[in-house]
Amino acid sequence: MKFLDHLTFGQYIPADSFVHNADPRGKILGTIILLTGVFLVKHPSAFCIWALFLLGVILMSRLSIRLVMGSAKPVMILVLFTAFIHFLFTGGEPLFKLGFVKITYEGLRMGVYMGLRLLFLVLFASILTLTTSPMELADGLESLFSPLKPFGFPAHELAMMMTIALRFIPTLLDETDRIMKAQLARGADLDKGNIWNRLKAFIPVLIPLFVIVFQRAEDLAIAMEARCYKGGKGRTRMHPLAWKYKDTIGLVITISAVALLSFLDRRLWL
Amino acid sequence: MPEDVVFSLRDVYFKYPGSDEAALKGIDLEVQAGEWVALVGSNGSGKSTLARILNALLIPTQGACFILDMDSKESENIWAIRSKVAMVFQNPDNQIVASVVEDDTAFGPENLGLCPSDICEKVTWSLDATGLTEYRNKATYALSGGQKQRLAVAGALAMTPPVIVLDEPTAMLDPQGRKDLLNVLSELHMQGMTIVYISHRIEEILSCDRVIVMNEGNVSWDGTPRDLFEFGKGIEKWGLEVPPIVRLWSMLKNAGIISKEVQPTKDGVVHALCP
């Protein structure tokens, strides 16, 4: 499992906490609302309040702060890049000029804000995946999308695809590792030369991987049929989702916080 | 048909679409309830095809196949047959659906539409029967090959079927994994479950009640493992290899060192030599 060691983002960490035990539907809706809230505010103090809110959620979920912050590491480059682009390409009052590079006060502000928003997005989303098992997440999404079923929306199929995809990530990473080693043993050069050569060198890895994936898909379909799988119709759950009053309270607090903060941000501070 | 007949096949032919030659050529077979039947044969002898016929995953192109008194040709019987005849395949990695052990075990009963408490009870029972209770909340990818295959058996057992068909379940396992799986099966057999066990490892069939040798889509031989080994090297014509312990057993028997009643197993031979 060499590849798996680098995969920290989105891994479920089981624990007994309010956030862990909350209904996945509430958590998904809450996360979407929170992310909207983060993108609605424009004032520095609003960002500080969001940071405090984030800290509160982390403490309630009994996850270590370092672990949650660590999950943002893989996207830090994207965050910095976004901020940098805003520094350079936002018009307005120039703060200083260096040759043709012009940094403006607005650019600096927008860059910092966009970077912070992206960071909040990743952190809130990773709290969701750190505290919700893949199965619960899939069940929650299926349940949330089920009102669209009469219009032909494949809610169950999407949830099943997600469950299977998550289940096969470690298996396929393992498989890729094995194929790469087999090709290296035959003298393949996978990490030398320019990008084009490296991409070309990867073809002997991708083709066997695709063949194996299709074979596995075929085998899995037969095995699922043998276990009486005939789609979502008539299927029950060992742990059916149960909405509790705590979930309502959590969701109401989240919605109120977002509404209040966006209102204050617009009316009072600006 | 008497009630204790589990499988009744009459003149069953099966041809894969696009293939010229039939994979099964007129199989006549009856399996009684509670029997442990081993299906052996070389690659391409039709044993996996026959296994899929027994679970209604394939429907005979000709002939009749009755499974627990249900005709597999009638499409309304298919799901009832699959819930009664569970199936375990060769590669454990390709039959595990969920990321967590208990979720995967629950997949079958969930498909049958049982109520949550029933599902939970069946999951607990099947994990216990396969010795996986302590792994209930573990990730499936973290299990060893042998544990994964036992999980596949647990997933099949969770539907509480009276019959289980296993298609070369030990092909990808190490000796310990193989031993553990065979122990689980003999425990189930003692509880009265009908087992159809496909293998090309002939040493694994010693504890079965009955052996069916398949060759080129036909049943070439049907009898007890002991009678099969009386053929000695004769079984090589069906692409089978005589296991070392059986070769030793027949040499000792022919030399008059052990009596004819001794079983061709490791325990039997050791006991006969050092009583």
In chain A, how many domains are there? 1
Residue A128's pLDDT band, with cuts at 50, 70 and 90, is very high
Q: Look at A235 and B55 and tell me if their CB atoms are within 8 Å.
A: no
Is B78 within 8 Å of chain A by CB?
Answer: no
Is residue A245 one of the residues assigned to a domain? yes
Beta bridge partners of B9: B29, B65
Q: Look at B82 and A238 and tell me if their CB atoms are within 8 Å.
A: no
A248-258 pLDDT per residue, tens: 999 999 999 99
The domains of chain B, with CATH numbers, are 5-242 (3.40.50.300)
Is residue A270 one of the residues assigned to a domain? no
Is residue A68 one of the residues assigned to a domain? yes
Average pLDDT value for residue range B6-21: 92
Q: Look at B97 and A220 and tell me if their CB atoms are within 8 Å.
A: yes
Q: How far apart are CA B181 and CA B150, in angstroms?
A: 6
Closest CA relative to residue B146, chosen from B172, B183, B125: B172
Residue numbers in B near A235 (CB within 8 A): 110-111, 113
% chain A with pLDDT above 90: 37
Range in A9-23, A201-215, B37-51, B87-101 the model is least confident about: A9-23
A131-168 pLDDT per residue, tens: 988 888 889 999 999 999 899 899 999 989 988 888 88
B73-84 pLDDT per residue, tens: 998 999 999 999
Residue for token pair 């057993």: B249
- Summary mean pLDDT of chain A: 86
Range in A96-105, B17-26, B263-272 the model is least confident about: A96-105
B148-186 pLDDT per residue, tens: 999 999 999 999 999 999 998 988 888 888 888 888 898
Residue numbers in A near B109 (CB within 8 A): 238
Residue A10's pLDDT band, with cuts at 50, 70 and 90, is low
pLDDT for position A266: 80
Beta bridge partners of B194: B163
pLDDT for position B2: 47
pLDDT for position A84: 86
Does A3 score more than 50 pLDDT? no
Residue A229's pLDDT band, with cuts at 50, 70 and 90, is very high
Residue B133 one-letter amino acid: T
Residue B156 exposed, middle or buried by CB count within 10 Å (0-12, 13-18, 19+): buried
ipTM score of complex: 0.87
pLDDT for position B83: 92
Q: Look at B86 and A227 and tell me if their CB atoms are within 8 Å.
A: yes
Does A129 score more than 60 pLDDT? yes
Q: Where are the alpha helices (DSSP H) in chain B?
A: 47-54, 78-84, 101-111, 116-129, 145-157, 175-190, 225-230, 244-254, 266-273
Interface of B with A in 117-176 (CB under 8 A): 119-120, 123, 137, 140-141, 155-156, 159
Is B12 within 8 Å of chain A by CB?
Answer: no
Is residue A25 one of the residues assigned to a domain? yes
Is residue A269 one of the residues assigned to a domain? no
A51-70 pLDDT per residue, tens: 999 999 999 999 888 888 88
Residue numbers in B near A238 (CB within 8 A): 102-103, 106, 109-110, 116, 119-120, 123
pLDDT for position A6: 45
Residues spanned by the domain of A12: 3-263
% chain A with pLDDT above 70: 95
Pair A115, A82: CB distance under 8 Å:
yes
Pair A236, A13: CB distance under 8 Å:
no
Is residue A268 one of the residues assigned to a domain? no
Average pLDDT value for residue range A30-47: 89
Does A85 score more than 90 pLDDT? no
Is residue A193 one of the residues assigned to a domain? yes
B94 token code pair? 């390709």
- Summary mean pLDDT of chain B: 89
Closest residue on chain B to A237 (Cα): B110
What is the β-pairing status of strands B163-167 and B194-199? Answer: parallel
Range in A9-13, A14-18, B32-36, B236-240 the model is least confident about: A9-13
Chain A contact residues (CB < 8 Å to B): 1, 14, 133-135, 163-164, 166-167, 170-171, 216, 219-220, 222-230, 234-240
Average pLDDT value for residue range B40-66: 91
Does B275 score more than 70 pLDDT? yes
Residue numbers in B near A234 (CB within 8 A): 113
Range in A167-171, B2-6, B122-126, B176-180 the model is least confident about: B2-6
Pair A130, A61: CB distance under 8 Å:
yes
Closest CA relative to residue A51, chosen from A37, A61, A71: A37
Does A268 score more than 90 pLDDT? no
Beta bridge partners of B36: B195
CA–CA min distance B183, chain A (Å): 23
Q: Look at B111 and A166 and tell me if their CB atoms are within 8 Å.
A: no
Q: Where are the alpha helices (DSSP H) in chain A?
A: 18-21, 24-40, 44-61, 65-70, 76-89, 105-131, 134-145, 155-185, 195-226, 245-264
Out of A135, A225, A226, the one facing B99 most closely (by C-beta) is A135
Is residue A253 one of the residues assigned to a domain? yes
Does A1 score more than 60 pLDDT? no
Residue A9's pLDDT band, with cuts at 50, 70 and 90, is very low
Out of A14, A135, A223, the one facing B103 most closely (by C-beta) is A135
Task: For an interface test with B, give the residue of A162, A167, A215, A237 to mutate (most B CBs within 10 A).
Answer: A167
